[in-house]
Amino acid sequence: MSELWLSEDLHPYYRKSLKINKKLVDEQTEYQHLQVFETEFFGNTLVLDGIIQLTERDNIGYHEMITHIPMLAVKEPKRVLIVGGGDGGSLQQVLRYSSVEEAVVCELDQRVVDHSRKYFPAFGDPWVDPRANLLVRDAFGYLEENPGTFDVIISDTTDPIGMAERLFSDEFYNLMVRALKPGGAAATQCEQPFFDTSLIKTIYETSKRLSRHPAYYYAQIPTYPGGGIGFMYVSDTPWSNGLNKPYPAGVNNYLNPLMHQAAFALPEFFRRELYG
Ligand code: SPD
């Protein structure tokens, strides 16, 4: 029998592939083509519109880094908003903090939640926690209705293609920063330094206009293009305020104090491009 390989077409000049054991889900939801594969080394893998979103084996670096960097920077975060994040991976990390009273997840596609609950059991079904509040709706309207509300906002989105393109716009960043409490912090999925330099630069310029201490940081995720992905930290509170703070129980599969600091070190070509 011939081997099956999962390969995504995000870039016309670059591909990587995961070996598939079997297909577990193949569904056209109201919003997107949702697939879950059992893969050989990386375990169950969620794919949306042909793009790998997460695998059981390497999602932890993404979820720890997108959540704990802003969560640790802010003192005692109580109200948290996750934009997207229907798989529950970021929610699991946010709920590790005993200071958190409410974690709102604004996810457009209920089917992402349903399938992730079944196929990614390591997220521990965070939806049953009474502090979790799932809103199946578009984040723009919700942000507009809630200025000055959140200690931390995490934008845990797909790539800037189709319906997600707006989540990388000036308008979105304006609304997001407006929805933070004074001193609050946001972190956003912010793509790949090699492939998306000019988009990241534009987002950094926007973040600089909107906040005092924006910074780009990076995590190694082998199943994403280029083997990793970056995040934009957006806040008036420096990210370094979170360094060497004690972690809530359950954290540190990927994050440790050296990784925390090193994540903000950028390759020179990219540092120059971004910070001048
Ligand atoms: N190129 C793929 C980027 C995927 C980012 N979203 C991941 C969602 C995990 N919660």
CB 75, CB 229: distance < 8 Å: no
d(CA 54, CA 88) in angstroms, rounded, equals 11
Say if residue 33 is in the same domain as residue 111: no
Catalytic site residue 156? Answer: yes
Q: Which atom of ligand 1 is nearest to the CA of 63?
A: 10
Q: Which of 156, 159, 196, 236 is catalytic?
A: 156
Domain residues for the domain of 43 are: 4-55
Say if residue 29 is in the same domain as residue 106: no
Say if residue 93 is in the same domain as residue 45: no
Residue 31 pLDDT > 70:
yes
Say if residue 199 is in the same domain as residue 130: yes
Say if residue 131 is in the same domain as residue 177: yes
**pLDDT recorded at residue 1:** 67
**CATH number, domain with residue 31:** 2.30.140.10
Note every long-range contact of 212-219, with CB atoms under 8 Å and residues 24 or more positions apart, other chains counting: 212/236, 213/237, 213/238, 213/239, 215/239, 215/264, 216/190, 216/264, 216/266, 216/274, 217/65, 217/69, 217/263, 217/264, 218/193, 218/263, 218/266, 219/61, 219/62, 219/65, 219/254, 219/263
Say if residue 211 is in the same domain as residue 124: yes
Say if residue 25 is in the same domain as residue 74: no
CA of residue 255 to ligand 1 center, whole Å: 18
CA of residue 260 to ligand 1 center, whole Å: 20
One-letter amino acid identity for 50? G
According to DSSP, the residues that pair with 18 across neighbouring strands are 6
pLDDT digits (tens, 9 = 90+) for 150-182: 999 999 999 999 999 999 999 999 999 999 999
Half-sphere exposure of 10 toward its Cβ, with a 13 Å CA cutoff? Answer: 23
Say if residue 122 is in the same domain as residue 30: no
pLDDT digits (tens, 9 = 90+) for 88-146: 999 999 999 999 999 999 999 999 999 999 999 999 999 999 999 999 999 999 999 99
**pLDDT recorded at residue 274:** 95
In this prediction the pTM is 0.97
Q: How many domains does the chain have?
A: 2
End residue of a domain, out of 20, 39, 55: 55
**Residues contacting ligand 1 via CB (< 6 Å):** 10, 51, 53-54, 62, 85, 87, 89-90, 156, 158-159, 189, 224-225, 229
